[in-house]
A and B are shown apart, each in its own frame.
Chain A
Amino acid sequence: MKEVIELLINGESHELFIEPKMTLLEVLREEIGLTGTKEVCDMGSCGACTVLIDKRPVLGCLTLAVSCKGKEITTIEGVRSGEQLHPLQSSFIEKGAIQCGMCTPGMILTSKALLDENPHPTEMEIREAISGNLCRCTGYVKIVEAIQVASEMG
């Protein structure tokens, strides 16, 4: 039975008419057209669907959209401010931390959540924090460097 819900995404309100079984990931990509958040494993193992809900990193594929009423959702599209890229986005590009790009949106949101709580993490803290975001291309070295550079930029 479809129901009307209102979701607040990247500061904008969206009114949707959806089935309760739709996950936040499906709603973002298919109902709203925000395809920056990626669907990879769709079962909570890879982290590609990571979004921030009330600033906490969570998995969109395991979140029911109807449970997100009244919460502040941030997707990769909402990370930059206006035309200005977030330091993490710039450092990922400059350090070559992006190959195919599928893990990148989730990786950046997880790293953003890490740096917002722990602005100067050690390498081990970075590696633990991103352990829920799998990358099949890069071997993680450049990703960790990019996060370190971004943390030095403040």
Chain B
Amino acid sequence: MRLPNIQYVEPGSTQEASAFLADHAQESKVMAGGTDLLPSMKQKIFKPEYLVNLGAIPNLDTIEFDEQSGLRIGALATLSAIEREPVILEKYPAVAQAAHAVGAMQLKWMGTVGGNLCLDTRCYYYNQSDFWRRCRPTCIKMGGDTCNAIGGGNKCFAVFSGDLAPALIAMDANISLLSAKGERTLALNDLYSGDGAQPVSISPEEILTCIEVPKPPEGTFSTYLKYRIRQSIDFPLAGVAVRLVIDGNDKVCHDAKVVIGAVGPRPVEVNGIKELLVGKKLESPAIEQAALLAQKAAKPVDNAAGSPSYRKLMIKIFVEKALGQATASV
């Protein structure tokens, strides 16, 4: 498959990038590692006039930790850098595990955290070549008016398939977006629209520059579990990120957050978890009840491998497993 014709733009700074996008955003696509964009361009899902390679911008790939402000990850930090970074392994294990789980070594050296957070949503009927897609009606995500996954309807169910988002949302991450008009900061959780067709609420002139994660309190346990058919590579079919704060002495849970991924068009923080788990020790039946809440919050449709009910079941199993690991870790 050959890429369509493009004009290649390589800004040397975030200012240059923002200035270019201020004029050309509608005809441009930005690229960091290119591991998701280029396959989609080969399938003629995107045919931008300009391909803006942010990957050449210096100093956007650093990872820093400070006792006051916590962790600061540049958007161009590679997944490989994140999975190995000692402070992330020690204080934010869910994030390191999520980065490790993403895929092949090659993809992790090319892929960036910014790209993974802004990953396009996926669907069996969307991630196909131009030729394949022409045999069916144009779907909602491609600008048409029907969903091929459910055979009708009026909304898009494409799956948010990034692994880092659930882990970073669980750790209360914020992100910064830069454009020629200035910078804005928002909670990572607020980046996701829930619409499979336009999953990430970044306007075309904006670029993601960095991710900030607060320092976790004493007694924090976090983990990320990923369900996929093979034991490696592959996008998630269900993902669970869990963060708990447990007192080391009396084993009482003081905070709990469960974020599920790959079972809908956006990562979802499961409601009701704090009410179930906080203020007591982690044990049955609260663990099973929390897992059932997470299973209910998962809303996949039949547009990926594994049946929707199996993926929901894996969410329940992983929440139980993660809470069990938390109990054992104290």
* Distance between Cα atoms of A61 and B42 in the complex (Å): 10
* Distance between Cα atoms of A50 and B105 in the complex (Å): 10
**A1 in the interface (beta carbon within 8 A):** yes
* Distance between Cα atoms of A20 and B109 in the complex (Å): 22
B280-306: CB near A (< 8 Å → 1, else 0) gives 000000000000000000000000000
* Distance between Cα atoms of A57 and B7 in the complex (Å): 26
A62 touches B105 (CB 8 A): no
Of B50-58, B118-126, B262-270, the stretch lying at the interface with chain A is: B50-58
Residue of B nearest to A19 (CB): B5
Q: Nearest Cβ distance between residue B104 and chain A, in whole angstroms?
A: 2
Of B31-39, B87-95, B187-195, B252-260, the stretch lying at the interface with chain A is: B31-39
Knowing A21-B6, A57-B106 touch, does A64 contact B1 (C-beta < 8 A)? no
**B307 in the interface (beta carbon within 8 A):** no
B105 touches A64 (CB 8 A): no
**A120 in the interface (beta carbon within 8 A):** no
**A151 in the interface (beta carbon within 8 A):** no
A1 touches B232 (CB 8 A): no
A132 touches B105 (CB 8 A): yes
A110 touches B106 (CB 8 A): yes
Chain A residues, CB < 8 A from B3: 21-23
A44 touches B7 (CB 8 A): no
**B10 in the interface (beta carbon within 8 A):** yes
A44 touches B105 (CB 8 A): no
B35 touches A44 (CB 8 A): yes
Residue of B nearest to A133 (CB): B104
A132 touches B106 (CB 8 A): yes
Chain A residues, CB < 8 A from B51: 20, 64
Main secondary structure, interface of A, reads mixed
Contact of A21 among B2, B43, B55, B109 (CB under 8 A): B2
A44 touches B53 (CB 8 A): no
Residue of A nearest to B34 (CB): A62
Q: Nearest Cβ distance between residue B11 and chain A, in whole angstroms?
A: 12
Most buried by A among B43, B230, B231, B232: B232
**B276 in the interface (beta carbon within 8 A):** no
Knowing A23-B3, A63-B34 touch, does A43 contact B107 (C-beta < 8 A)? no
Chain A residues, CB < 8 A from B8: 20, 64, 66-67
Knowing A43-B42, A59-B35, A62-B110 touch, does A132 contact B7 (C-beta < 8 A)? no
For chain A residues 41-60, which have a beta carbon within 8 Å of chain B?
42-45, 47, 50, 56-59
Knowing A43-B1, A62-B39 touch, does A129 contact B105 (C-beta < 8 A)? yes
Contact of A1 among B7, B35, B56, B105 (CB under 8 A): B7
Residue of A nearest to B80 (CB): A56
Chain B residues, CB < 8 A from A8: none
**A131 in the interface (beta carbon within 8 A):** yes
B64-82: CB near A (< 8 Å → 1, else 0) gives 0000000000000000100
Chain B residues, CB < 8 A from A47: 104, 106
Q: Nearest Cβ distance between residue A145 and chain B, in whole angstroms?
A: 19
Knowing A20-B51, A56-B109, A59-B110 touch, does A128 contact B232 (C-beta < 8 A)? yes
Contact of B5 among A21, A56, A63, A127 (CB under 8 A): A21
Contact of A57 among B2, B103, B105, B232 (CB under 8 A): B105
Q: Nearest Cβ distance between residue B191 and chain A, in whole angstroms?
A: 24
Chain B residues, CB < 8 A from A1: 7
A42 touches B106 (CB 8 A): no
For chain B residues 8-43, which have a beta carbon within 8 Å of chain A?
8, 10, 34-35, 38-39, 42-43
A73-105: CB near B (< 8 Å → 1, else 0) gives 000000000000000000000000000000000
User: What 10 pairs between A and B have smallest CB-CB spacing?
Assistant: A132-B104, A20-B8, A131-B232, A21-B3, A56-B109, A43-B39, A62-B38, A57-B106, A59-B106, A132-B106
**23 A-B pairs (CB sep. < 8 Å):** A20-B8, A21-B3, A21-B4, A21-B5, A21-B6, A42-B1, A43-B39, A43-B43, A44-B107, A47-B106, A50-B106, A57-B105, A59-B35, A59-B106, A63-B34, A64-B51, A110-B105, A110-B106, A131-B104, A131-B230, A131-B232, A132-B103, A132-B233
Q: Tell me the B residues contacting A by CB distance below 8 Å.
A: 1-8, 10, 34-35, 38-39, 42-43, 51, 53, 55-56, 80, 103-107, 109-110, 230-233
A sample of 13 more A-B contacts (CB under 8 A), given A43-B42, A132-B107, is A43-B39, A50-B106, A56-B80, A57-B106, A58-B109, A59-B106, A62-B34, A62-B110, A64-B51, A67-B56, A114-B105, A127-B232, A129-B105
